[in-house]
Amino acid sequence: MLTTAPRDPAALPRLLISILALLLLWPGLSLSELDLAVLVDGDNTRAMGNFLAGFWPPAHDGEFLALLGRAALETLAIATAGMSLALLIA
């Protein structure tokens, strides 16, 4: 015979923690004077569209790819140095 799945025992604590987090974060949103309606204003929507349109088509010229390669190698060098220092400290 089929049985129903048991209730989640952590549902109530998760709900209470979520409500508590909202209550604690709400004053920060109020004090920051966040106004999301400004984002969908006509001029701002056009500006965001122009900004996003600048990403297409993606740049693939030689100068940009060389810059990208140098940045990738620099990132790998910094990561290697960080791992080496971490191993020395540990």
Domain residues of the chain, as ranges? 58-89
Rounded CA-CA distance 54/61 in Å is 15
Query: Hey, how many other C-beta atoms are within 10 angstroms of the C-beta on 1?
Result: 2
Instruction: Check if the beta carbon of residue 44 is closer than 8 Å to that of residue 38.
Output: yes
pLDDT in tens, 26-64: 998 889 988 888 888 888 889 999 999 999 888 889 999
Query: Hey, how many other C-beta atoms are within 10 angstroms of the C-beta on 47?
Result: 11
Rounded CA-CA distance 78/90 in Å is 18
The mean per-residue pLDDT over the stretch 5-34 comes to 90
pTM here is 0.44
